[in-house]
Amino acid sequence: MTGEKLVLLGLSANDLESFAVDFGQPAFRGRQLYDWLYAKGARELGEITVLPKEWRSYLKKRNVEIGRLKEVERFVALDETTKLLLGTSDGENIETVGIPTKHRLTVCVSTQVGCSMGCHFCATGKEGLQRSLATHEIVDQVLSVREVMERRPSHIVFMGMGEPLLNIDSVLSAISCLNTDLGIGQRRITVSTVGVPHTLPKLAELALERLGRAQFTLAISLHAPNQELREKLIPVAKTYPIKKLLEDCKHYLNVTGRRVSFEYILLGELNDHREQAHQLADLVSGFQSHVNLIPYNPIQEEQFTRPSLERIKAFQAVLESHGIAVSLRSSRGLDQDAACGQLRRQHAKSS
């Protein structure tokens, strides 16, 4: 036991009560731990002064720790969008972003260190995949943004570094913790995926089994209105055709009863033509869904461009003319390289 690290962040109130009892303390010590972990955001056991000093020393000797990440860099954009580079205990770095508006604070969280999907428009995939994140490393991102921005997060999007459906167990555990322990409703949580074969049915079943209900939003990163173009942008599309992806989306909807959202990054002069908007409308018509248009945030390694506002609005108008529910995401933090993975890559190059 002394050589194996035990992390407390991510454990439930009942888990922490059992932990306290197992380590020779009354159950209420577990409730004290719970309060300091989630309400107060303690970073070290030494901060939790309500616990006996002797027990804190004992836990430290037994390799028990809270499991918080270390802030490596922080960038705040003119619109107050805040990007954090956080260091893990094994020396890796991950990104998280706090996106504020007057009435909400959205946290964009990472699920992996790097990514194996290799989408050509994404900075994260340029470095490949190092590993998946543990539950506490996902939850910490929300706590870190809350701490830095001195404001309670209201919405969570699993849309940062990595592919969430290649880390389903930790993602579902993190959703449970964010919902139950940090009080963020499932309906304010979005899980975004580029689409991984055989994972959507598994996600639906595991969500019902482990969360009791699947009320979070599933967002599919579609980014193309046809198979040919999608294969050019997203390598996994070659083994997971759009037709099969949409079949799995309908299965997910039938199992969970939750509407599916489709994310569509608009790339200038590539997938933003009016005829492609008509194709996209035909693709998702008759489907209980929503299309979220995202103007591209340029990265140095690729030649993709951000479309003009005129082309963005024209694309949106075509979808609306077909009766498709559509929204346009306003770009945030552009002056601080807001595209996912950029901060991590810049830090690696400078260190």
Catalytic residues: 95, 340
Please tell me the distance from the alpha carbon of residue 309 to that of residue 244, in angstroms, as a whole number: 33
Within 13 Å of residue 44, how many CA atoms lie on the same side as its CB?
6
| Helix or strand (DSSP H, E) at 328 | strand 326-328
Burial 305-339 (b: 16+ CB within 10 A, else e): ebbeeebbeebbebbeeeebebebeeebbbebbbb
Strands (E), 110-249: 112-114, 129-132, 155-158, 189-193, 217-221
